[in-house]
């Protein structure tokens, strides 16, 4: 079986995620990578900044176990009640 390495494949916004990271909401810090999706472990509200926006929006009542297909640059602590979130990049 061939050794599959990430550098052999082209990445795009619609390609599957190649990297996952824990998200700790913060009011000023950006995420370590722009997401392709956001996994929500424990549901609630999520205050986010999308990649091409300069304002935050709040997704209300996101259920536990849900994946938002969204490109994010930040998840804010103010306005976020959801927890156990994973960034999919």
Q: What pTM was computed for the model?
A: 0.85
Neighbouring CB atoms inside 10 A of 62's CB total: 21
Q: Which residue do the tokens 């929006």 mark?
A: 57
3-state secondary structure of 61: strand
Backbone angles phi, psi at 6, to 5 degrees: -60, -30
Vertex 54 angle, CA 51 and 57, to 5°: 80
Q: Which two tokens stand for residue 24?
A: 């700790």
pLDDT digits 0-9 by tens, 12-67: 877 888 899 999 999 999 999 999 999 999 999 999 999 999 999 999 999 999 99
CA distance readout (Å), 58 to 6, 61, 84:
33, 10, 17
């Amino acid at each position: 079986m061939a050794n599959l390495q990430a550098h052999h494949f082209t990445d795009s916004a619609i390609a599957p995620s190649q990297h996952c990271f824990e998200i700790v909401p913060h009011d000023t810090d950006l995420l370590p990578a722009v997401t392709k999706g956001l996994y929500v472990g424990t549901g609630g509200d999520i205050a986010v900044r999308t990649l091409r926006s300069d304002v935050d929006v709040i997704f209300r009542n996101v259920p536990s176990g849900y994946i938002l297909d969204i490109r994010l640059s930040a998840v804010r602590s103010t306005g976020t009640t959801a927890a156990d979130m994973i960034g999919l990049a």
